Amino acid sequence: PMAAALGLDFCTKTKRNYAPVRLGGTIGYTLPGFLFGALFARDLKNVFLIYAVLVALSCAATMLYPIKQEKQSPAVTADGKKVSMFSLIKDPLVIFLLMSNMVAFMGSSCYTYLPLYAQELGFDNALCGQLSAIAAVPEILLFLTIDRALKKIPPKTMIYIALGLQ
């Protein structure tokens, strides 16, 4: 969530699209499933070593983020009104999104068991990792097309369509 917030902040300040930044995160999620699958198939203990190395590299990389500590001003709407957390929680669309996200997350937790089922079908660990990576491919298609879609469909309508497709 912090990386997403930093990316969104960067894109807002530099007037860039957020979709390519988020696309990088999705590709960063899917590539290890393909690249490390064969390594994990040989010895599952490699998962822990590689994870530790990648987390250490990620921590080091965050130290390189070009962040200036600025005094935080209160969030404001386009017409200059202050926004508080309480006003967000009262917004019916925010409540709807939070509830929808909770329901969608419960449904998507089936991906946790996808590798176990694949293993039961006879897949090895390498293919199980690749199968999990393939599950994220629709995100890549979304981030490649979202800017064009948002020019034709209002964001609020897009949210409803996305929730309906889940």
Select from 134, 139, 143, 141 the least CA-distant residue to 33.
134
pLDDT of res. 36: 72
Q: What gap in Å lies between CA 36 and CA 38, rounded to an integer?
A: 6
* Token reading at 6: 């930093």
Q: Which residues contact 25 (CB under 8 A, 6 or more apart)?
A: 3, 4, 7
pLDDT by position in tens, the chain (length 166): 677 777 888 888 888 888 888 888 888 777 877 777 667 667 767 777 877 888 899 888 878 876 665 655 556 666 667 777 777 788 888 888 888 777 777 766 666 677 777 778 887 767 776 777 777 777 788 888 888 888 899 888 887 887 777 6
Q: What is the DSSP letter of 20?
A: H
Select from 110, 115, 117, 114 the least CA-distant residue to 37.
115
Select from 124, 106, 114, 111 the least CA-distant residue to 41.
124
Q: What is the DSSP letter of 123?
A: -
> What is the chain's Cα-based Rg?
20
Is 130 exposed, middle or buried (CB count within 10 Å of its CB: 0-12, 13-18, 19+)?
Answer: buried
Q: Which residue has the tokens 């990620």?
A: 58
